[in-house]
Amino acid sequence: MSPMPAKAPLTALRADLVTFTGDPFLTDPATCLAYTPDAIVVMGAGKIVDTGPAHEVLRRLPPDVTLRHYPDAIISAGFIDTHIHYPQTEMIGAFGEQLLEWLTTYTFVAEQHFAEAAHAERVAGVFLRELLRSGTTTAAVYCTVHPASVDAFFAESARFNTRMIAGKVLMDRHAPAALLDTPELAWSQSTALIERWHQRGRQLYCITPRFAATSSEAQLEVCGALRHATPSAYVQTHLCENINEIEWVQALFPERASYLEVYAHAGLVGPRSIYGHGVHLSEDDLCTCHRMGAALAHCPTSNLFLGSGLFRLFEAKDPRRPVRVGLGTDVGAGTSFSQLRTMGEAYKVAQLNQTRLNAIQAFYLATRGGAQALYLEDTIGTVAPGFEADLVLLDRKATPLLAFRSDYCKDIVEQLFVLMTLGDDRAIQATYVAGECVYERDAPDEGFRYPGSGATAVAPAT
């Protein structure tokens, strides 16, 4: 490789490096993991401009580049969360219900608070910081029915320069009156939010009917019209999470062959459509997702917490008709913002399904696989020149137990498995967004910084 041009400013990170070159569910996992011990990743103008073994990159690195060395860390692409609710941050860990009762008892109560813009701003501030503290740099996020909740979220995401996907929740029935809109409001408010936020900087808009039971057929048709009007926008909703939910949707839409068919009839199945859960999908449904290019968000901590069931990951990823799949924390039914913990729970769900999820497959889902689910696989999720420089530094020695156990890892695959089994947000040493450090665990003032200014990013008072 020829010497890099001296374009200022460049920064660089030095640590071990892991990334992925293929889908380990479709081919030999060992061929999909790219591991470089003692690597350097060079960043400039928000993107990765060079990677490789340190002894090679140092020879072509301009002398004025700022190089940060993390000797006990592993560089990975930033984690990608394909299903999460920011308004539910205030109710994470709520006790004792299954899905439909849980929505009524906790979720709909909490979401009414977002009629107050200041509350939305406070929660968005806490939420973004918890994501970054956990090494998550991109997420598909549900707001509430209130447009101000979307504005608050995207405004804080823009301050951190994170690539986020989010949208106003749409509901016109079977919810408290304070959380209902109409098909007309769904169109007018969503259109205005799309114009205000979609593709502004790194922000991307997502058309967000909560799920089929809380949207009339007329509102679902509006969602399809919104998607047709802005083909680059996303669609996210829930699908086949809980048996009672499925029976309810079938009763509400008796003319449709399946829950997924409700969305298909409205024009909501296709590229950039993300369905949370998919626990109880039929083979026909999985074939439809494969054929139409729709994605599923596997949310193991939520499915276990609400007793919804066990997602059949290896059936979804069947090489004969693979479906795009990412991991979702699904906070607040999900019990952690950490993708490391989510990977660990996904392993346990796979075990209960009599399958084995290895560390290569798990980290793939949280990085390149999540990017593929979001149709961003050419933009994020891989550590290579030309990709956006969203990175996380994983600390092998974050806790005494991790440090002790890591000393006995025979190779990088075992090390990754130990991190996803024993790790959590404490294992995130630093998080970089578009090449700038926005979170550093050991820095003062909780370690958050808005990029560009270097100013401390103090969360709004709660």
Domain positions in the chain: 10-78+382-447, 79-373
| Residues 342 and 336: beta-carbon distance below 8 Å | yes
DSSP assignment of 321-380: SPPEEEE---TTTSS-S-HHHHHHHHHHHHHHTT----HHHHHHHHTHHHHHHTT-TTTS
Distance CA 378, CA 355 (A): 30
Distances (CA, A) of 65 to 14, 60, 297: 12, 11, 39
Q: Spell 380-413 as b/e; 16+ CB within 10 A means b.
A: bbbbeeebbbbbbbbbbbbeeebeebbeeeeebb
What residue has token string 């003062």? 444
Distance CA 134, CA 398 (A): 13
Q: How far is CA 288 from the centre of its chain?
A: 23
Residue 445 pLDDT? 82
| Three-state SS sequence of 6-67 | CCCCEEEEEEEEEEECCCCCCCCHHHHEEEEEEEEEEEECCEEEEEEEHHHHHHHCCCCCEE
Burial of 228 (0-12, 13-18, 19+ CB in 10 A): exposed
Residue 2 pLDDT? 44
Enumerate residues 6+ apart whose C-beta is below 8 A from 62. 4, 6, 10
Angle between helical axes of 359-366 and 339-352 (0-180°, round to 10)? 130
Tokens of residue 132, six digits: 């970054």
Tokens of residue 310, six digits: 């066990």
- In terms of residues, how long is the chain? 462
| Residues 450 and 457: beta-carbon distance below 8 Å | yes
Helix (H, G, I), strand (E, B) or coil at 281: coil
Half-sphere exposure of 49 (CA within 13 A, CB side): 22
Quick check: bond before 332 cis, omega within 30?
A: yes
Enumerate residues 6+ apart whose C-beta is below 8 A from 103. none
Angle between helical axes of 183-197 and 147-160 (0-180°, round to 10)? 20
| Residues 125 and 459: beta-carbon distance below 8 Å | yes
Query: What is the block-wise mean pLDDT of the chain (462 residues), using blocks of 10 residues?
Result: 59 98 97 98 98 97 95 98 98 93 96 98 98 98 98 98 98 98 98 98 98 98 98 98 98 98 98 98 98 98 97 98 98 97 98 98 98 98 98 98 98 98 98 98 93 70 54
Q: How far is CA 174 from the centre of its chain?
A: 28
C-alpha radius of gyration, the chain, whole number: 21
Q: Spell 128-138 as b/e; 16+ CB within 10 A means b.
A: bbbbbbbbbbb
Quick check: bond before 400 cis, omega within 30?
A: no
Any idea which architecture 79-373 has in CATH? Alpha-Beta Barrel (3.20)
Decide which of 2.40.110.10, 2.160.10.10, 2.30.40.10, 3.30.70.20 is the CATH code for 10-78+382-447: 2.30.40.10
Burial of 226 (0-12, 13-18, 19+ CB in 10 A): buried
| Residues 186 and 143: beta-carbon distance below 8 Å | no
* pTM higher than the cut 0.85: yes
Distances (CA, A) of 275 to 115, 208, 344: 26, 10, 21
| Residues 80 and 380: beta-carbon distance below 8 Å | yes
Distance CA 100, CA 307 (A): 12
| Residues 303 and 59: beta-carbon distance below 8 Å | no
